[in-house]
Structure 1
């Protein structure tokens, strides 16, 4: 997990990373890929889509395991890194 930073949203720690793209359409494709991933886990990140970038923040607000950055958040952050690398190869 490279370049993920800890930040706080709504009083809860999150892992956050900004992914850069040369085209808006690539940012949008990545957004949709991450949204699909989130749906399979029923765990949804904060995502901010802008021209040339997508910022993603994974954190758990309420669960049986507590709140903050949990194992599932770290796993999904790693999967985002993998999706990003895959998408870059397809460009």
Structure 2
């Protein structure tokens, strides 16, 4: 059985590991958005993107409030990606 100090240290380690994963994911997502011309930190584009972690170490992203034009841009990109995947899948089934 772990002591209270060991349990607190394990919880802190889990939190820090989760925070690192979340920060890495936020960084990569920010890079993807930049490739799309969306500027993270710009109030008119994407005001806030933050990596977070629960005390148990579960990583998560806080996306903030996204302006409608940016949300529509993302929706268009997702629809395009899905249709491209379907076309590719249909072409491989036809071959």
Q: Report the TM-score range of the alignment, normalised by the length of the smaller protein.
A: 0.3 to 0.5
Specify the structure having the higher radius of gyration (Cα).
Answer: 2
Structure with the bigger percentage of helix? 2
Structure with the bigger percentage of strand? 1
Question: TM-score of the superposition, structure 2-length normalised?
Answer: 0.39
Question: TM-score of the superposition, structure 1-length normalised?
Answer: 0.40
